[in-house]
Structure 1
């Protein structure tokens, strides 16, 4: 009875549950949220210090907009806080230990002690991030790793998750990570042969993420014994032309790629379920349309697909884009788009080739224009209102549309007018207002007023409900 009352909010959990069980519950919370429980009462004041999910991120203390001198001072306070917290930790083991410091060179001995603490506690998930937020748009080759992974980590054979950013790793030393399931590497040099050796030593690997790695040559994945289910390759530096080869990965379900357009050679027998494609690093679209068209054919089985503005502008220029041989199996499509005219032919391409589409998410982002863009046909300003085609998904399957970052521009309004007026089975239209102001004085209130104008439009579906957030 007391437990039911506590769950209903009528009684403090501390009066019902034993302390050891509260420790387990707190360990499921993110570290920052666990710390916030200390304000609940005197009983809860130090309870969070028994969490087995430990995360120390300098952003708790250091803000990027502060002066260099202030950052140096606060980074020292942060390191001192970690020292004190670890010194008072009394539990015998931990599950996860995460540390993020952007200027580790002044605290090498301290950081090595923090890592030694985690290893001594039998940590299963280790995350070390020494990258700097100011690097985000930089060429990764300009930033050598700032910290060397201590030798005793290579001897810690119980690791199940390892995430290293700007942390130099000695691949030949990795021979004991037989339990590793999740591996993320970023801001490091990673040659093709090193990656192959790494995968051979991790037979249970299920998730692999590579971010801003360089000197990779090409990406070659062909390990029939791999259990890999998730693969993410984000803005890595390859030799030109880029070649992505994925074979013998029958369990692969999730594929994320961002960077320059590559020659993709994918295993069509894979049971792909989700793909996220972003070619934002491209500065020219010439000669890439057929490569992207063939990529979509290889991904014909995915049910969740996310595509970028570059894809929308380019795909209709493919020689075969009119009349896809294999209609896509996509049920949830995300368009990262500015909804400008150069993207319209690509949007209709996906409407036409996703006959089973049930959910459409439009994530509005800044426009990208390419100087050598050649539209597949002459653009007309009444594109969405004249000679309208009602695609099969609009007639039969599309039930939910989400728009994120709505400002109510003319093109946004026209596209939504089209969907509302022709979406015969639509049930939900969720509009999330942008919080950004624009150069023309646009603000949240103005965007909301524009969104409310959509409520007055004629609806093709009597079940359609429009919500504005």
Structure 2
């Protein structure tokens, strides 16, 4: 007499189907692969969350090996074969999906030929008929061996059925395809929209803003031929807006969003017109450095003043480079962040970033936490910064404590450079309420240099007698 040691063997198919409806597609497929009868009956097709990318069919380890020995042709061949297998698998699976509705449908297929168009149209129509709630359509090459500009390749264009049957979609992500009709009038439940590498016009932006009343999150990444981001519909409940590296935004960004809480911008310096941003809490700024441009105080004032009510601010190293030294030479206060509680600086701590760091610290008297992250410096040999005559001692000179509310400082990537030591000593000297200073050493930093730096910082004058310095 044999004993069945597999507790799943006696489970009825109906129970397995119920379990599968709660699993992501990959897990559902693996579960059915464990039992031949489940796989033969295609129980995995009852999954309600379908998420599959072409990279899963391309044997990444093998491709990496061929690429490492210079066999690029072999890698390209493997990618084509893997993409073809992926396409046929998805085509069969989508047409046989057994669930009456879907919670999520996500795929990535590099659109390199128009022969895929009719099949993809059919996929979209099927999942829309199943009232899909989260839809992600990605036609980019996530792992390009030979990157090609988007405009040189055939581009998939969303079909009319996409706009006619989008009533149930709540989360929508579109990458590297044409919007086509671009009429979001039926997307009444849409709460999150992400557009990446999409041609976006002013009319399309207006259509989205006016037809999606419940939109809370909008992300525009590397969109092109968009000259202005203008959202001035005060009744729109948008809470999070991300604009990163869009082309060309020559007319800037104009916003009137009373409920906006998070704003992130990365790209070149553009005009900002912000109104009614009373609820704004988090601002992330990553201005791209233009080496041909000579910056002045008015430029910096226009870039930071619109966010004076922010509570959390993150600034990148490129944005730090553009601060003119007149901020320190003339004592001119360009802006004031009275509401700011947390400041994050992603910096290379170059000499020409010091003016910005000091200016931001002086302009944020009420911050309670400060995070400093140092990383690889992007060298810009063509950059000619403004005249910087201050000596090392003059740079860090201030009159009295300026950070009375600062309690905690996190410093990541410490290497023991003179600028890093001076900055830490500056914070200790001008923060009467500081309780904790956490310094995390960069792994590749020289131990002898950092040990001397640790000794110097531990012996530094501190305005607060109760500060604890932690090294890691």
1:78 maps to: 86
Q: Tell me, yes or no, if structure 1 residue 58 matches structure 2 residue 69.
A: no
Gaps of 5+ in 2: 1-7, 68-74
Q: CA deviation at 1:134?
A: 7.1
Per the normalisation by structure 1, the TM-score is 0.78
1:380 maps to: 391
Q: Is 374-383 or 98-107 further displaced after alignment?
A: 374-383
Q: Is 45-54 or 366-375 further displaced after alignment?
A: 45-54
Separation of aligned partners in 2, 1:364 and 1:36: 43
Residues 182 and 117 from structure 1, CA distance in 2 versus in 1: closer, same or farther, beyond 3 angstroms? same
Give matches, 1:451-466, under 5 Å: 455-456=454-455, 457-458=457-458, 460=462, 462-466=466-470
Separation of aligned partners in 2, 1:467 and 1:90: 56
2:365 maps to: 355
1:331–1:356 CA contact under 8 A, matched in 2: yes
Separation of aligned partners in 1, 2:47 and 2:423: 49
1:237 maps to: 247
Give matches, 1:26-37, under 5 Å: 26=23, 34=27
Q: CA deviation at 1:57?
A: 2.2
Q: Is 164-173 or 53-62 further displaced after alignment?
A: 53-62
Q: How many residues align?
A: 435
Q: Tell me, yes or no, if structure 1 residue 200 matches structure 2 residue 210.
A: yes
1:420–1:458 CA contact under 8 A, matched in 2: no
Per the normalisation by structure 2, the TM-score is 0.78
In structure 2, which of residues 316, 321, 333 is the aligned counterpart of residue 313 of structure 1? 321
CA offsets, 1:13-39, max 9 Å, x none?
Answer: xx9xx9788667645xxx77x579859
1:154 maps to: 163
Q: Tell me, yes or no, if structure 1 residue 332 matches structure 2 residue 332.
A: no
Separation of aligned partners in 2, 1:51 and 1:407: 50
Q: Tell me, yes or no, if structure 1 residue 107 matches structure 2 residue 116.
A: yes
Q: Tell me, yes or no, if structure 1 residue 415 matches structure 2 residue 426.
A: no
Q: CA deviation at 1:354?
A: 1.1
Q: Tell me, yes or no, if structure 1 residue 128 matches structure 2 residue 128.
A: no
1:119 maps to: 128
Separation of aligned partners in 1, 2:290 and 2:28: 43
Whose radius of gyration is greater, 1 or 2? Answer: 2
1:351–1:391 CA contact under 8 A, matched in 2: no
- Residue 392 of structure 1 aligns to a residue whose secondary structure is coil
1:178 maps to: 188
Residues 458 and 430 from structure 1, CA distance in 2 versus in 1: closer, same or farther, beyond 3 angstroms? closer
CA offsets, 1:11-67, max 9 Å, x none?
Answer: x9xx9xx9788667645xxx77x579859x989x99987654432223334458652
Q: CA deviation at 1:302?
A: 0.6
Residues 177 and 399 from structure 1, CA distance in 2 versus in 1: closer, same or farther, beyond 3 angstroms? same
Q: CA deviation at 1:371?
A: 3.8
Q: CA deviation at 1:340?
A: 0.7
Separation of aligned partners in 2, 1:253 and 1:22: 38
1:262–1:291 CA contact under 8 A, matched in 2: no
Residues 277 and 290 from structure 1, CA distance in 2 versus in 1: closer, same or farther, beyond 3 angstroms? same
Q: CA deviation at 1:211?
A: 1.4
Residues 288 and 208 from structure 1, CA distance in 2 versus in 1: closer, same or farther, beyond 3 angstroms? farther
1:233–1:258 CA contact under 8 A, matched in 2: yes
Q: CA deviation at 1:263?
A: 1.2
- RMSD of Structure 2 on Structure 1 (CA): 4.0
- Residue 371 of structure 2 aligns to a residue whose secondary structure is strand
